[in-house]
Amino acid sequence: MDAAGTTLVAAATYRLSLLRNVHKHLPQAERVRERLVSRVNSDGWLAPVVNPVDFDSEGSNSPEGQAFVIQLHAAYREWDADGRKGENAASALRTPGLTTFVGLVFALAAMAFC
């Protein structure tokens, strides 16, 4: 189970909403963002993450995970400032290949992370 990858997908979802008006997966990104709050420890590290030196084991500190948390926060803040377009995923520009891929990634992340 890796919170870092899930965080990166959620950040990309907010960016996709801002840049391409694709809002289909915003509800999942919102759930991930809300749940990540409890996954950051008192020192500010995201967990659980993959050990960046040994991918077969769980790590406790991942610089990549930290970068993804910052990317998620920045993308969310910009999406919020832009008026939270697509918040209810009511309107979505259909980009079948990309939105299907994002949906698959969220489904896999939900099984492992949420």
Question: How much is the pLDDT for 9?
Answer: 94
Residue with tokens 């509800």: 27
Lookup: tokens for 107: 């489904």
Lookup: tokens for 77: 């803040």
Yes or no: say if 104 and 7 are a contact pair by the CB < 8 Å rule: no
Distance CA 10, CA 78 (A): 14
Supply the pTM of this predicted model.
0.75
Phi, psi of 58, rounded to the nearest 5 degrees: -80, 140
Distance CA 58, CA 112 (A): 14
- Structure confidence by residue, pLDDT tens digits, 20-68: 999 989 999 999 999 998 888 888 889 889 887 888 888 888 888 899 9
